[in-house]
Chain A
Amino acid sequence: DIQMTQSPSSLSASVGDRITITCQANQDISNYLNWYQQRPGKAPRLLIYDASNLAVGVPSRFSGRGSGTDFTFTISSLQPEDIATYYCQQYDTLPVTFGGGTQVEIK
Chain B
Amino acid sequence: QVHLVQSGSEVKRPGASVKVSCQASGYTFTDFGISWVRQAPGQGLEWLGWVSAYNGDSSYAQRFRDRVTMTTDTYTTTAYMELRSLRFDDTAIYYCGRSEPTVVTHFDHWGQGTLVIVSS
Contacts and interface: CB of A to CB of B under 8 A. Distances in A.
A66 interface: no
Contacts of B46: 98
- B-side interface size class: 20 to 34
Contacts of A94: 59, 61, 104
A75 to B, nearest CB: 19
B32 interface: no
A52 interface: no
Q: Say whether chain A's binding surface is mostly helix, strand, loop, or mixed.
A: loop
A5 B59 CA distance: 24
Given A43-B110, A44-B45, A87-B45, A96 B104 contact: yes
Contact of B44 (A50, A96, A98): A98
Contacts of A97: 47
A34 B44 contact: no
Nearest to A32: B105
B69 interface: no
Q: Say whether chain B's binding surface is mostly helix, strand, loop, or mixed.
A: loop
B112 A34 contact: no
A48 to B, nearest CB: 9
A80 interface: no
Contacts of A89: 45, 106
B106 A49 contact: yes
Contacts of A49: 105-106, 108
Interface of B: 35, 37, 44-47, 59, 61-62, 95, 97, 103-113
Given A43-B95, A55-B106, A96-B104, 20 more contacts: A34-B105, A36-B45, A43-B112, A44-B37, A44-B95, A44-B97, A46-B106, A46-B107, A49-B105, A49-B106, A49-B108, A50-B106, A56-B108, A87-B44, A87-B45, A91-B104, A95-B62, A96-B47, A97-B47, A101-B45
